[in-house]
């Protein structure tokens, strides 16, 4: 099996996980206008929720559902208790970014103080290994890719065909105007926090499944990949985030096959800085 194909396989899985997180992050930003750096910490909370459920003797897939519910609540709670009050007061976007960093610390190290610094893993079987087009993938990895594809389709359907999705897009485009048109923006925003929180929980759990063992700080670097994917596609643009995730996922893993694996993140980093410098609105974005 060629090195290239193998790394493409890894890239697809990374991209699948990344796409879920990046779409969640970018929708959150578009609708709520908070560049929420606590997103990765919410993912960690999801991964540990699934771990607790798994430890209680249930399948990790039950844990995944629990993680989505828990993170929807956590995310909506963060908005209700912290972000929304700051926004109501008219705080600058940069203040909210700093606050979100504070939230990231509280959630991440709150988990660490309970869980300790040790790595944990789920009790689960990786399933049969299958070869597809020269790529060697486990059943679990295929399930992750399938979940990601389903989520992308669901997000597309949500934005395109549902009332909530249209209200989200309207709120993202112009919150005041949306209010004027009879959209209850605060409700749409609260729902968006819950929904994107659920995506964060889902992403956190499949991330943990994918990496095998994890601790409270495992998603720190993953946040960088999320940011790279989001900014590559254009902040606030869901389809851009999908494209960005695919590019970043493949680029990091394929490059890892040829250069030192430790430097694979540099690709994401260069992509992110280049986009910020040359085209801050991203590949698909028009709106700054």
Partner 1 sequence: MYYLIILLVYAAVDAIACLGLSQQFGVAGVTNFGFIIFQAAGAYVAAVLALPPDTADGGFQTYIGGLSLPFPLPWIGAAVAGGVLALPFTFLVGRRLRGDFAAVGLLVTAVLLNLLVMNYRPLFNGDAGLALVPTPLRQTMFVTTSNAYQYGYAAAGLVLAAAVYVFVRRITESPYGRTLRAMRDNDKVADSLGKNLVALRTGALVTGGAIAGLSGAVLVSFIGVWSPAEWSYAETIVLFTAVIIGGAGNHAGAVLGAVLVPVGFEEVTRFISNNNPNLPPNLLPSLQWVAIGLLITVFLWLRPQGLLPERRRMIRAPARSPAAQAPPEPPAEPAVESAPAPAARAPVPAPVTEPILRTSGVSKAFGGVHAVAGVTIAVGRGTLTGLIGPNGAGKSTLLSLLAGTAKASAGQVIYQGQDVTAVPAYRRARAGLVRTFQLASEFKRLTVLENLLSAVPSHRGDTFAGAVAGRRYWRGAEDLAIGRATELIERFGLARHANDYAGDLSGGQRRLVEIMRALMTEPSMLLLDEPMAGVHPELARRIGAALVGLCQDGMTILMVEHELSIMDEFCEPVIVMADGAVLAEGTMAELRDRTEVVEAYLVG
35 binds partner 1 (CB under 8 A): yes
Q: Kindly indicate which of the ranges 19-27, 50-58, 60-68, 272-280 contains the residues binding partner 1, using the contact rule CB under 8 A.
A: 272-280
Name which of residues 224 to 263 contact partner 1 (CB under 8 A): 224, 227-228, 231, 235, 260, 262-263
90 binds partner 1 (CB under 8 A): no
Beta bridge partners of 138: 129
272 binds partner 1 (CB under 8 A): yes
Comparing C-alpha atoms, which of 47, 44, 51 is closest to residue 108?
Answer: 44
Q: What is the CA radius of gyration of the chain?
A: 18
Closer to partner 1 by Cβ: residue 108 or 253: 108
Q: Judged by CB under 8 A, which of 86, 179, 186, 211 binds partner 1?
A: 86
Torsions phi, psi for 25 (to 5 deg):
-60, -45
108 binds partner 1 (CB under 8 A): yes
Q: Give CA separation, 44 vs 53, 79, 82, in Å.
A: 14, 18, 19
How many residues touch partner 1 under the rule CB under 8 A: the total is 48
Mask of contacts with partner 1, 144-163, x by CB under 8 A? --------------------
Name which of residues 197 to 216 contact partner 1 (CB under 8 A): 216
6 binds partner 1 (CB under 8 A): no
Provide the binding-site residues for partner 1, judged by CB under 8 A.
35, 37, 82, 85-86, 91-99, 101-106, 108-110, 112-113, 116-117, 216, 220-221, 224, 227-228, 231, 235, 260, 262-263, 265-266, 269, 272-273, 276-277, 280, 286, 288
């Amino acid at each position: 099996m060629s090195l290239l194909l193998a790394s493409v396989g890894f890239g697809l899985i990374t991209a699948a996980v990344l796409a879920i997180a990046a779409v969640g992050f970018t929708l959150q930003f578009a609708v709520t206008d908070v560049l929420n750096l606590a997103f990765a910490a919410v993912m960690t909370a999801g991964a540990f929720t699934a771990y607790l459920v798994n430890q209680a003797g249930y399948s990790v897939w039950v844990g995944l559902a629990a993680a989505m519910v828990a993170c929807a609540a956590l995310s909506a709670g963060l908005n209700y208790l912290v972000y929304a009050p700051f926004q109501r007061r008219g705080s600058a976007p940069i203040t909210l970014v700093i606050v979100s960093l504070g939230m990231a610390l509280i959630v991440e190290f709150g988990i660490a103080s309970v869980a300790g610094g040790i790595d944990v893993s789920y009790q689960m079987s990786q399933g049969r290994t299958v070869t597809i087009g020269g790529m060697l993938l486990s059943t679990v990895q295929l399930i992750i890719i399938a979940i990601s594809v389903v989520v992308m389709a669901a997000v597309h359907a949500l934005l395109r065909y549902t009332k909530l999705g249209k209200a989200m897009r309207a709120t993202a485009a112009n919150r005041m105007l949306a209010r004027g048109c009879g959209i209850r923006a605060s409700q749409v925003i609260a729902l968006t926090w819950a929904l994107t929180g659920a995506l964060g929980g889902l992403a956190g759990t499949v991330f943990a499944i994918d990496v095998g063992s994890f601790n409270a700080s495992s998603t720190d670097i993953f946040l960088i990949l999320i940011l790279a994917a989001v900014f590559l596609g254009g902040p606030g643009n869901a389809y851009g985030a999908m494209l960005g995730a695919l590019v970043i996922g493949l680029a990091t893993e394929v490059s890892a096959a040829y250069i030192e694996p430790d430097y694979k993140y540099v690709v994401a980093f260069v992509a992110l800085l280049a986009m910020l410098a040359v085209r801050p609105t991203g590949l698909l974005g028009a709106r700054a």
